[in-house]
Amino acid sequence: MPSVEDTPAPSEASLAMSTPGFLPNTLDSQGSPIWLSELASEEPNHTLHVVHDLEPAQALEVLGANPRSFQPCELPSAKPDRWSSLPGAALGIEPGTSAALLAGRIGAWTFVYDDSGFTGHDDTTSLSANGRAAATSMYSINADASLTYAVDGTELAWINVDDLNLKKDLPGMPDALRAAFRAAGTVEHDYLEPGQPDYDICMRAVCALASLFCTVEDLHRVPLLVTPFG
């Protein structure tokens, strides 16, 4: 894949979407789940964890956050600048000084959004302990994108978007993950070959796995916890 420096910022007219699990209002113009792009800073370097049947506070603890720093969160209506995330703004964190972790539960799945990528794939197996399913998607400022999927403390899949071939790789994925990638579909940017995975496919797949077809407005209707980290 081209480097992020060589990648033009796509407009709505320069791409086509085939994302069967997502309604148009749940994705931004580049194909990222809109709730994540609205949470993130303008140039995201972030991580999303999802875990089945674990409460948000417990998930934060598994990731190594200090329970004494957890606080209920009502997301602000706007970010103070392009470098801030909404969770960081909620905590009053200066960009670059600390990560902000935001956790909530929708249905049977808990998500933890890490606005600075301080947590990562090494945490997925811990989240999946005791028979749970968990997944982690990471996206770096350099457009490195990857996903880990684990069940009952065992990693079952690690996917790097640069090496992903959907036609060849989908049949070998665990059933739930294969269904998630099918729901994620593809976004055809003008700098990619038709059907080539885009940089946001792993974030869409993680959201599809956990049925997080939501918006930031939806997050205002569920209890949220936020904490500084790192």
Q: Where are the domains of the chain?
A: 15-55+106-222
pLDDT of residue 61: 98
pLDDT of residue 81: 95
Q: What is the pLDDT of residues 12-40, one digit of tens each?
A: 433 467 899 999 889 998 999 999 999 99
The H or E element that residue 78 is part of is none
Given a contact cutoff of 8 angstroms between Cβ atoms, the answer to whether 144 and 138 are in contact is yes
Provide the phi-psi class of 153: left if phi over 0, else alpha when psi is between -120 and 50, else beta.
left
Whole-model pTM: value is 0.92
Residue 108, token pair as written in the block: 């049977």
pLDDT of residue 2: 34
Query: Which residue positions in the chain have pLDDT lower than 70?
Result: 1-16
pLDDT of residue 3: 35
Given a contact cutoff of 8 angstroms between Cβ atoms, the answer to whether 73 and 87 are in contact is yes
pLDDT of residue 16: 62
Dump strand ranges (E) for the chain. Answer: 15-18, 46-52, 71-72, 99-106, 109-114, 133-139, 145-151, 154-160, 186-189, 224-229
Given a contact cutoff of 8 angstroms between Cβ atoms, the answer to whether 59 and 103 are in contact is yes
DSSP SS3 for 81: coil
What's the CA gap between 104 and 113, in Å, rounded? 9
